[in-house]
């Protein structure tokens, strides 16, 4: 199975196709509803406020060619003040559909990790960018946490709380499956279309 190291190049993304299993390595950032809303409202729809400029510059660097993970982790504070991920399961991604295309384009994202897939707007952004959607295994939060080797820092912890904060983490051999690629293929759309066609046949029988 291919291993990709963040930051990921356009050529590496274009070489991926729906159905490919990949191991991710490097530094990625978690972000759910609060983080996406915050980024769009403060960094994309307007110039970054002065008090958020440092965070904007950090995210521009981290997400350029990078990966954002829809995850609300369970974390543990260690005696030395560092953090450890106890559970790191994916969050349902469709909640971010209204934000994700803008975030992908603005920050030059190459990958989005979550579960359940995303919609046509994100798929279009993946084709244009290019970028891909990586499906992580739902129900394997503790197993996935073993791939998180280091919590580098965390942003907006006090304001957003643990699940919604933006955790900057270093991962090793994080297992994911490409389910939406840069060529317009979406396993999620295919499954939905096939399911609807089968339902129609059953109802007509």
Which tens digits make up the pLDDT trace of 123-136? Answer: 999 999 999 999 99
Instruction: Tell me the average pLDDT of the chain.
Output: 92
Strand residues in 88-137 grouped as ranges (E): 111-114, 132-135
Is residue 196 over pLDDT 70? no
Domain residue spans of the chain:
3-204
Is residue 197 over pLDDT 90? no
- Across 88-97, 100-109, 167-176, 183-192, least confident range: 183-192
CATH of 3-204, one of 3.20.130.10, 3.40.50.880, 3.30.70.930, 3.30.1280.10: 3.20.130.10
Strand residues in 64-118 grouped as ranges (E): 67-69, 74-77, 83-87, 111-114
At 2, is the pLDDT very low, low, confident or very high (cuts 50, 70, 90)? confident
Q: Which residue has the higher pLDDT, 182 or 137?
A: 182
Per-residue confidence (pLDDT) for residue 205, from 0 to 100: 60
- Alpha-carbon distance of 186 to 52, in angstroms, equals 35
Per-residue confidence (pLDDT) for residue 59, from 0 to 100: 98
Please state the pTM of the whole predicted model: 0.91
Residues with Cβ < 8 Å from 133, sequence gap 6 or more? 93, 111, 112, 113, 114, 117, 118, 122, 123, 126, 178, 179, 180, 186
- Alpha-carbon distance of 142 to 87, in angstroms, equals 4
Catalytic positions, please? Answer: 36
Per-residue confidence (pLDDT) for residue 87, from 0 to 100: 93
Burial of 103 (C-beta count, 10 Å sphere; 0-12/13-18/19+): buried
Which tens digits make up the pLDDT trace of 36-48? Answer: 999 999 999 999 9
């Amino acid at each position: 199975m291919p291993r990709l190291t963040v930051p990921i190049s356009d050529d590496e993304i274009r070489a991926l196709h729906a159905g490919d299993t990949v191991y991710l390595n490097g530094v990625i950032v978690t972000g759910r509803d609060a983080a996406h809303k915050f980024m769009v409202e403060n960094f994309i729809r307007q110039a970054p406020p002065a008090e958020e400029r440092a965070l904007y510059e950090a995210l521009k660097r981290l997400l350029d060619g990078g990966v954002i993970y829809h995850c609300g982790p369970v974390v543990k504070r260690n005696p030395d003040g560092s953090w450890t991920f106890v559970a790191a399961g994916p969050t349902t991604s469709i909640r971010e559909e209204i934000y994700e295309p803008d975030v992908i384009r603005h920050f030059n994202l190459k990958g989005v990790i979550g579960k359940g897939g995303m919609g046509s707007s994100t798929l279009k952004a993946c084709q244009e960018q290019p970028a891909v959607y990586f499906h992580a295994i739902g129900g394997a939060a503790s197993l996935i946490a073993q791939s998180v080797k280091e919590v580098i820092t965390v942003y907006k912890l006090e304001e957003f709380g643990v699940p919604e904060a933006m955790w900057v983490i270093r991962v090793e051999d994080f297992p994911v499956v490409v389910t939406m690629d840069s060529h317009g293929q979406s396993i999620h759309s295919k499954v939905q279309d096939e399911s609807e066609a089968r339902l129609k046949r059953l109802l007509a029988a």
